[in-house]
Every structure is written in structure tokens, then in C-alpha cells.
């Protein structure tokens, strides 16, 4: 409809043109694909790689925590070790009785994250290639692809966090609706992985310095706390306390046990049983203090089996049942011990945290046969035989073909020596282990009739292609370090605007790198959560300053006959970054 008063052909706001003059829906859908065809080719390639993953390792990949997620999904009881956010997701898919929807949805999450990063950076003025580069790691990193194809909370957590950050960065002052959705996403992400607990505070701080307004801040606070509060009420109904887990103290204990020396601490008698007399140079990595029974030097396959094994303090106190290491009393005592260690040896604590953080930025991934650092067979594309060796004894009622009869002794994965325990849980075993029975029932339920337990199969030639792909196509830690530094430069360059829109993704990325090292220990798996937001912050370092009204200036007109501006060169983008570093950027106009 035209404006009869002025004679303009411009459509009057809030009024639609006649049906015959409207752009067909098909054209409206095709137009963005045509306009962004170079990135469209990248997305097609990313989808193709994910199809190869699905074909190469059907129906899905597993590691030890996967079976606990299934158990939580079918029992509908809050887990004491980790929140139930991911089991809630699995519950929605349980009626389909197939692992394929889980694999497909998580693969879609990876692609959508790449698209969201590209869309935001294009909106912020970057050329197509400048917006594509930060999206490449999440679209093509081999370890990201592996994680997406696994029953684990990480893909869902990374997706929720990335989507929330993109929403909050879409405009300098997001709408109330956008703030509400972002708050819900952050709140739910906190229930998916405990490392997300500080994210709501980070979002509030970042939006506060961007002068988002009190109503918007209140909106994101209320919507973020709503799912967290509801979950704490549910947890209280089962365990009698308002919390998300009973594990924070135990995990922190594992962190400090790599350096804690009780001779240098004022240890309360009640928690003295957690002291480890082992010399520092012989102590295992952090995670072994809560998940393992024995203390053996990492990667030592020549342990003298004739010598008595050293046992962890947790094993000596509560036995081999790891669930007993996360009860309320043990968690509280472990937290008390850990806080005493940090207060008594702050420099030692700082040293181990810094060492783990720097570990993130090494060029090559450290060889990890025991999965201490999340880089072992569980988190790589490996052969079917090697995958079968990782299947826990309590998730199968029969011996896996090709697997040994008895479980190896700790520290001896080559089966040079073995224990007296079988590698499967037979009928006699199941009589004494009801949890194993529930896990096996859950496996069958999710797999569907006639599909057994859903253990992963290796299918050629696709699996071989993925093993080769994994050797070369991944984000080296040193490159991630450079990405983090570029994001930091963009934030510092806009110091007059308190870092501008890039502050939020950079803070979230830094937090997801540092927090695991502070509270639990290093794992390459944890680092992947920081990659999308760190790449987004690096891209925003080259974004144009906001124009009138706080909205970014467009590099290409959305409508009209004006000729498009030429794409910006690498030199122009670098000049933008140097200019921002020199003058601190402009002040937001609202």
C-alpha cells in the first residue's frame, strides 16, 4: 500500500500490501540463501561431514557418563553428581525408542551454532568471509563432531550458551523478549552442566555495563533464576536441601588433592581422613581422587603388580562405590578440606590452576591412553574393538565379542594382569546390582525393539575417513589462545564502552576455560564449550561501531537500488581494530 499523501511507494508501517503484491513465501526463504550462497556452501559441507559421522559410527557414541544420563532419564530422580538438565532432554526423546533422533538433534545444534555466529557477525558489519571464519571451528572441528554424536550433556550445554550469547549481542539493547529468552536459556544451561552456574552473573554484569536498563536486567535475572529455583525445589523434595548437586565439595577436593599437604594445613580432625600421604610427584591427576580406587602414576604401564596398590583416601573411607563419595556428609567434609587447603596453600592452588589453563593452549593434544585429560579412546574416532574395550561391565549382561573375560587391574589397560571381576554383569551380578539392571533396561528402551543395547558399530569406509579427518581438522590449542587474545584486544580497544558488545562472549569464553581448572581439573572435553563464544568475541573485535540508535551500520543495503558497498578487506578490518585500540571506540548512542 502506498502513501497517498506523499506519493511515495514506501510501504506504510503496520500495513501490509495487497495479497497480489506480497513477496511469495518461497521467494522470502530463497532470498537469504542466494544472498549468502558462499556461506551456504560451507553449511552444506558441515552437514555432509556430520552425515559421514552418523554413517561411520551408528547409532551413537558412548562414554561412562552416558549410562548415568540414561539412568536419570528413566528414574526421574535428581542426580547427586550432576544436574538433570540433559536427562530432561533425553526424556523428551524416549518415546521415539531410537538413538538416531538424539544424534540428529545434536548434529543440528552444531550446525545452528555456526549459522548463529555467522548471522550475528554479518549483522555487525563483517563481510561474508570475516563472519565465516569464526564459525569454522564449531562447524568442522573433529572433536566437536565426535562430541555431538555422543550421549553427553556437552552439545546441549554449548548450544544453549551460544544461543543465549547471540541473542544478547544481536542488539546493543536487546528487547525484553530477547532478554527473557536468553535468561531461560542460561538458566536451563545451568541445569545441564554445573559449570554454567556463574553464567547468569556474567550476563548481568555484561548487560549492566552496556546500560541495558533496569527492566531488562530484571527480566534476565528472573527468567534465569526461574528454572534454577524450580530445580532446587525438586532437589529439596528428594534430599532435603536446596541445591543443584551434592558434588561441588567432592570435585573441589579432587582439585586440591594434587597439591594439598596436610603438614602445611590446619586440618580439622573430622576431615583428616582425606589427607593423602603420597609424595606430590607420585600423585595422580585430579579426577582420579574421586573416580578411581587406586593411586598409580599416570601413564605408567610397568607398575610392579607384586607390590601392594596405593588406595585413594576416598576409597579407604567409603569403599569402591563412587556414589557414596557424593553424599551430603562426604561432600560437606570434602568441601571443608578443600577450602582449608586453598587458604593454607594459595600459591600452590594458583600454580595448578595456571598449569591447567596453560595446558589448554598447547599446540598438540597430549597423548592420553587413560582418558585422564579427555583425550583418550572415549573421545576420539577409534576402531570398533577399541570402543568395545571402553564398555563398562555394568551395562551389558553378556561378554562383548573380542573383549577379555576379566577386567584389567588399574594402570594396566594392556591386560598384562587382571582382576577377578568379569567384563560383563551376568545374572548373579544383576541380583546384587539393581542399578545395573535399570541401566540395561534403559539401554534397551532407548534403542527400541530388536536393536539390543545400542552399542556403537564401526562402519567402513566412513569410519576410516573420520580417523584420517581427525588427525588434521581440529582447532589446535595455540590457535584457540590466539583467538582469545584477539577477543581480548577487541574488548580492550573499546574500553570507553567497557568492552562493548564483545565483552559478554569474551567473559563467557574465559570463564569456561578457567572455571573447570579451578573447581575440578583439566579436560579437553571441557575446553570445547568455550570455543564458539571465544570465536564470536574474536569476530566482534572487528565489528563496526554502532550507528544512530545503537544499531550497527549495514555494509550492504537491505532494500533499494543503491549499489552495494564493496566487501571489506583484511587490511580494512585490521585498521578498524587498530583504530579501536588507539581511541577506545565510540560511546553507544541509545
Distance in angstroms (rounded) separating the CA atoms of residues 425 and 416:
22
Q: Please state the rounded mean pLDDT for residues 86-97.
A: 97
- Give the C-alpha separation, 94 to 98, whole Å: 8
Asked if the structure places residue 280 within a domain, the reply is: yes
Tell me which of 186-195, 231-240, 275-284 is least confident: 275-284
Which cell numbers hold the place of 51? 552425515
Question: Which whole number is the average pLDDT over 483-502?
Answer: 92
**Mean pLDDT, to the nearest integer, of 17-37?**
70
Cα separation, 441 vs 425, whole angstroms: 13
Average pLDDT, the chain: 87
User: Higher model confidence: residue 303 or residue 192?
Assistant: 192
pLDDT digit string, tens, across residues 120-135: 999 999 999 999 999 9
Among the residue ranges 168-172, 487-491, 555-559, the one predicted with the least confidence is: 555-559
Q: Rounded distance, CA 421 to CA 425, Å?
A: 9
Residues 165-172 have a mean pLDDT of: 96
114, 115, 139, 118: which is closest to 129 by C-alpha? 118
More confident residue, 170 or 299: 170
Do the beta carbons of residue 182 and residue 207 sit within 8 Å?
Answer: no
Q: Give the confidence band of 555 by pLDDT, cuts at 50, 70, 90.
A: very low
Number of structural domains the chain divides into: 1
Q: Which of 251-255, 375-379, 496-500 has the highest mean pLDDT?
A: 251-255
- Specify the pLDDT at position 142: 97
For the chain, give the percent of residues with pLDDT over 70: 83
CA angle 420, 424, 426 (to 5 degrees): 95
Decide if 37 is inside a domain.
Answer: no
Judged by average pLDDT, the poorest of 106-115, 244-253, 388-397, 556-565 is: 556-565
Helix (H/G/I), strand (E/B), else coil: 498: coil
Hey, what's the cell of 377?
Answer: 579412546
Considering the domain boundaries, does residue 520 fall inside one? Answer: no
User: How high is the pLDDT of residue 6?
Assistant: 44
Of 174-178, 265-269, 471-475, the poorest mean pLDDT is in 265-269
Q: What is the pLDDT of residue 551?
A: 53
Pairing mode, strands 294-295 and 310-311: antiparallel
What is the pLDDT, as a whole number, of residue 8?
45
Please tell me what DSSP assigns to residue 546.
B
Q: At what angle do helices 64-75 and 85-93 cross, to 10 degrees?
A: 70
**Does 303 reside within a domain?**
yes
Is the pLDDT at 550 greater than 60? The verdict is no
CA torsion sign for 490, 492, 495, 501 is positive
pLDDT at 559: 40
Mean pLDDT within 454-460: 94
Q: So what's the pLDDT on residue 11?
A: 45
Total Cβ atoms within 10 A of residue 269? 6
Q: What is the Cα–Cα distance from 342 to 34, expressed in whole angstroms? A: 57
Task: Please say whether the beta carbons of 393 and 422 come within 8 A.
Answer: yes
Residues whose CB is less than 8 angstroms from the CB of residue 233 and which lie 6 or more positions away in sequence, other chains included: 242
C-alpha 422/C-alpha 164 separation (Å) is 46
Residue where the block lists cell 502513501? 3
* Lowest mean per-residue pLDDT among 4-18, 152-166, 414-428: 4-18
**Residue 181: band (very low, low, confident or very high) from pLDDT cuts 50, 70, 90:** very high
Is 387 domain-assigned?
no
Please give the residue range of the domain that contains residue 287: 248-345
C-alpha cell at 572: 580494512
Q: What is the pLDDT of residues 319-338, one digit of tens each?
A: 888 999 999 999 999 999 99
Rounded distance, CA 162 to CA 534, Å? Answer: 10
Asked if the structure places residue 377 within a domain, the reply is no
Using the predicted structure, report yes or no on whether residue 579 has a pLDDT greater than 80.
no
- Across 286-389, the runs of DSSP E, i.e. the strands, are 294-295, 310-311
Q: Tell me whether residue 326 is in a domain.
A: yes
Which phi and psi (to 5°) does residue 408 adopt?
-75, 160
User: What is the per-residue pLDDT for 586?
Assistant: 38
Helix or strand holding residue 408 (H, E): strand 406-408
Least confident range of 196-200, 201-205, 582-586:
582-586
User: Is residue 369 over pLDDT 90?
Assistant: no
In-domain check, residue 288: yes
Whether 378 and 287 have beta carbons less than 8 Å apart is answered as no
pTM (two decimals): 0.88
Amino acid at each position: 500500500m502506498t502513501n497517498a499523501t506523499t506519493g511515495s511507494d514506501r510501504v506504510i508501517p503496520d500495513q501490509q500490501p495487497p495479497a497480489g503484491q506480497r513477496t511469495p513465501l518461497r521467494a522470502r526463504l530463497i532470498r537469504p540463501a542466494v544472498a549468502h550462497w558462499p556461506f551456504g556452501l560451507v553449511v552444506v559441507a558441515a552437514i555432509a561431514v556430520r552425515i559421514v559421522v552418523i554413517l561411520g559410527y551408528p547409532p551413537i557414541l558412548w562414554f561412562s557418563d552416558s549410562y548415568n544420563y540414561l539412568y536419570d532419564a528413566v528414574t526421574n530422580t535428581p542426580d547427586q553428581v550432576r544436574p538433570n538438565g540433559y536427562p530432561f532432554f533425553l526424556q523428551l526423546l524416549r518415546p521415539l525408542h531410537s538413538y538416531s533422533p538424539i544424534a540428529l538433534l545434536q548434529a543440528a545444534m552444531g550446525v545452528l551454532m555456526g549459522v548463529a555466529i555467522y548471522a550475528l557477525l554479518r549483522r555487525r558489519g563483517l563481510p561474508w568471509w570475516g563472519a565465516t571464519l569464526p564459525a569454522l571451528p564449531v562447524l568442522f572441528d573433529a572433536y566437536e563432531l565426535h562430541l555431538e554424536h555422543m550421549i553427553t550433556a556437552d552439545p546441549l550445554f554449548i548450544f544453549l550458551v551460544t544461543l543465549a550469547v547471540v541473542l544478547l549481542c544481536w542488539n546493543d539493547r536487546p528487547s525484553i523478549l530477547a532478554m527473557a529468552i536468553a535468561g531461560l536459556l542460561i538458566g536451563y544451561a545451568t541445569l545441564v552442566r554445573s559449570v554454567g552456574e556463574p553464567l547468569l552473573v556474567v550476563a548481568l554484569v555484561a548487560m549492566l555495563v552496556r546500560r541495558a536498563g533496569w527492566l531488562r536486567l530484571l527480566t534476565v535475572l528472573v527468567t534465569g533464576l526461574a528454572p534454577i529455583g524450580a530445580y532446587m525445589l525438586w532437589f529439596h523434595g528428594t534430599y532435603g536441601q536446596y541445591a543443584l548437586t551434592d558434588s561441588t565439595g567432592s570435585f573441589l577436593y579432587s582439585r586440591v588433592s594434587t597439591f594439598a599437604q596436610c603438614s602445611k594445613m590446619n586440618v580439622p580432625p573430622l576431615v583428616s581422613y582425606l589427607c593423602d600421604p603420597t609424595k606430590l610427584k607420585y600423585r595422580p591427576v585430579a579426577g582420579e581422587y574421586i573416580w578411581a580406587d587406586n593411586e598409580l602414576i599416570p601413564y605408567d604401564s610397568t607398575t610392579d603388580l607384586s607390590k601392594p596398590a596405593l588406595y585413594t583416601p576416598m576409597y579407604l573411607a567409603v569403599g569402591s562405590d563412587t556414589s557414596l563419595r557424593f553424599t551430603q556428609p562426604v561432600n560437606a567434609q570434602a568441601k571443608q578440606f578443600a577450602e582449608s587447603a586453598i587458604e593454607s596453600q594459595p600459591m600452590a592452588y594458583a600454580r595448578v590452576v595456571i598449569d591447567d589453563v596453560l595446558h589448554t593452549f598447547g599446540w598438540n593434544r597430549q597423548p592420553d591412553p587413560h582418558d585422564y585429560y579427555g583425550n583418550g579412546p572415549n573421545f576420539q574416532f577409534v576402531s570398533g574393538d577399541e570402543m568395545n574395550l571402553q564398555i563398562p561391565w555394568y551395562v551389558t549382561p553378556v561378554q562383548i565379542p573380542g573383549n577379555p573375560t576379566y577386567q584389567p587391574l588399574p594402570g594396566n589397560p594392556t591386560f598384562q594382569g587382571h582382576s577377578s571381576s568379569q567384563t560383563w554383569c551376568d545374572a548373579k551380578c544383576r541380583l546384587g546390582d539393581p542399578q545395573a539392571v535399570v541401566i540395561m533396561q534403559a539401554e534397551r528402551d532407548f534403542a527400541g525393539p530388536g536393536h539390543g543395547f545400542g552399542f556403537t558399530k564401526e562402519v567402513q569406509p566412513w569410519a576410516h575417513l573420520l580417523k584420517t579427518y581427525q588427525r588434521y581438522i581440529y582447532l589446535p590449542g595455540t590457535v584457540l589462545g590466539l583467538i582469545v587474545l584477539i577477543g581480548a584486544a577487541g574488548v580492550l580497544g573499546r574500553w570507553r564502552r567497557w568492552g562493548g558488545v564483545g565483552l559478554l562472549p569474551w567473559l563467557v569464553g574465559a570463564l569456561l576455560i578457567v572455571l573447570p581448572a579451578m573447581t575440578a581439573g583439566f579436560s579437553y572435553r571441557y575446553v570445547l564449550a568455550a570455543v564458539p563464544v571465544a570465536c564470536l568475541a574474536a569476530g566482534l573485535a572487528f565489528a563496526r561501531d554502532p550507528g544512530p540508535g545503537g544499531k550497527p551500520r549495514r555494509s550492504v543495503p537491505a532494500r533499494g537500488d543503491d549499489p552495494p558497498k564493496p566487501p571489506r578487506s583484511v587490511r580494512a578490518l585490521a585498521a578498524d581494530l587498530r583504530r579501536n585500540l588507539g581511541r577506545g571506540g565510540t560511546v553507544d548512542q541509545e
